[in-house]
Amino acid sequence: MLIAVPKEIFPDEHRVALIPSSIAALTKAGLEVMVESGAGAGCFHDDQAYEKAGAKIAPNADALYQTADIVLKVRPPEPGEAAKLRDGTTLICLMDAFSRLDLMEQLAAKKISGFGLEFVPRITRAQSMDVLSSMAAIAGYRAVIEAAGLLPKYFPMLMTSAGTIVPSKVFVIGAGVAGLMAIATAKRLGAMVEAYDTRPAVKEQVESVGAKFIEFDLETADAEDKGGYAKAQSDEFYKKQQEQMKAKVATVDVVITTAAIPGKKAPVLITDDMLQSMHPGSVIIDLAAERGGNTEGVEAGKVVVKHGITIVGYTDYPSRSSVHASQLFAKNITTFLLNMVKEGVFAIDLQDDIVKGSLLVHDGQVIHEMIKPLMAKQGE
């Protein structure tokens, strides 16, 4: 069974699915590993390191795909990459399935078994496979570092002979993994940190990492789904939320937004009217920019200035910490793969909750319960 790791071709993507130190666990399980030449360059792992760890090196992507039984990637394959996959092989990566229905159709046509790592269920047994949490933690950390670099103020309080500098105020919207890491990082840098989430249950977590939990006068009894994610709310809910949010953002220096709903456009939380109420020079880091953004006027992948407010829409924070991002990703994906390997044999067990929850395409069909309706709607 040959495991293949191609070089990521998505622009500015520097991560790799496996690093040299992750090869041993796979070869010990009876699997062979082949890595495309240069695949680890973006995170400073050269071909010699992979060879020393027991992997073979393929000169190019074509040579890799022609022999692979299982392909491990970070990003979903581009159409040209998917076309190179041999029929009946297995693909494991972040699929971005909700916006890549074309890829789902392409994989089904080639009878490829496609696993989306973002669909790994949040159960105790799958914690070591949770790529979303690993990458979100990096994004939360990098968001604060980016904000600190752009804000024309210090984060911490300083007492000097020239006077006292008051600490900057940071407001984090959304207390998932990214939000909690952002809170902890901003606190370590000396900022005064407040946080808000539609889920009252996270108040204790917010306070445990050093922030004050802000509560708005909203009905939040149905704010969380069974997987622990925030649920989409009504237009009326978001309108009331925006009204109360305006008063808060007008008092802070940095806003970090992390609100995203799986499979849906990100809710707009910061309107143009709210931007005008903020202090000139303030910074917004919108971690939901790739899904439309939480901030009116944000542009994915860019930094824009509106009404004197700097709005950052970068979508590649994990890639900007490629060494540790690749290390964590490799551990997640290796554990995920080995869950399906017994005595050197790879087998897809649909009775396994982890397998069932993350298998999107199998045996020529799109089978995931969240993706099938979208495919059917697209075909109408």
Catalytic residues: 122, 127, 130, 133, 229
Question: Could you please report the per-residue DSSP string of 67-121?
Answer: H-SEEE-SSPPPHHHHHHSPTT-EEEE---GGG-HHHHHHHHHTT-EEEEGGG--
Tokens 């070089």 found at: 7
Distance linking the first and last C-alpha atoms of the chain? 39
Q: What share of the chain is helix, strand, coil (3-state, %, to 5)?
A: 40, 20, 40
Task: Provide long-range contacts, Cβ within 8 A and 24+ apart, for 324-328.
Answer: 324/138, 325/15, 325/43, 325/134, 325/135, 325/138, 326/15, 326/16, 326/17, 326/19, 326/40, 326/43, 326/45, 327/19, 327/21, 328/134, 328/135, 328/138
C-alpha dist (Å) from residue 240 to 4, 170, 202, 266, 317: 50, 22, 21, 17, 31
Name, in order, each residue with C-beta under 8 angstroms of 369's C-beta and a sequence gap of 6 or more: none
Determine whether 22 is exposed, middle or buried from the number of CB atoms within 10 Å of its CB (0-12, 13-18, 19+): buried
How many CB atoms neighbour CB 344 within 10 A? 10
